[in-house]
Amino acid sequence: MPLDGVYEPSPSQWVRDQVELYESSGGTRGTTMRGLPVVLVTSVGAKSGKLRKTPLMRVEHEGAYALVASNGGSAKHPVWYHNLVASPRIVLRDATRQWDMRAGLVTGGERREWWDRAVRAFPDYADYQLKAEREIPLFVAEPIT
């Protein structure tokens, strides 16, 4: 079932531009950052109920995806982290394909395994973790069957 709500574009111009190019091209353009693949996550705002679209680096394993709340190594979690905790249903688009998914935080050994995959996919995450002064949260999203 698709998510209900009105789309509210990101206040960041570069993020807004990437989302627009990704979607308007049907997932054939705007799908990378620094040469590495990006997925698009649609989630529901915890307070507004509006649809938020967030590009994230692509970290895939056996049909599941890690969503890394790195926020560029900022000391604060991104707002979408709080939205996903409150409302774990998302739509994840990976280039030309998309799925309804449920995202849950992972901890302990499971987080470590996914963290290693995330750093292999996007090495800058390691630098972000060093400067973030918080443990960067990691969700795993899986298709709703």
Q: Which residues bind ligand F42 (CB under 6 A)?
A: 10-12, 14-15, 18, 33, 38, 45-48, 50, 52, 54-57, 68-71, 78-80, 82-83
C-beta of residue 136 within 8 angstroms of C-beta of residue 112: no
For residue 106, the tally of other CB atoms under 10 A from its CB is 17
In the complex, what is the shortest distance from the CB of residue 80 to ligand F42, in angstroms, rounded to a whole number?
Answer: 4
Smallest gap, in angstroms, from Cβ of residue 44 to ligand F42?
A: 8
CB of 28 to ligand F42, least distance (A): 16
User: In Å, what is the CA distance from 90 to each residue of 73, 77, 141?
Assistant: 23, 18, 8
**Nearer to ligand F42 (CB atom), residue 60 or residue 145:** 60
Helix orientation angle between 108-121 and 124-132, rounded to the nearest 10 degrees: 130
Closer to ligand F42 by Cβ: residue 42 or 54: 54
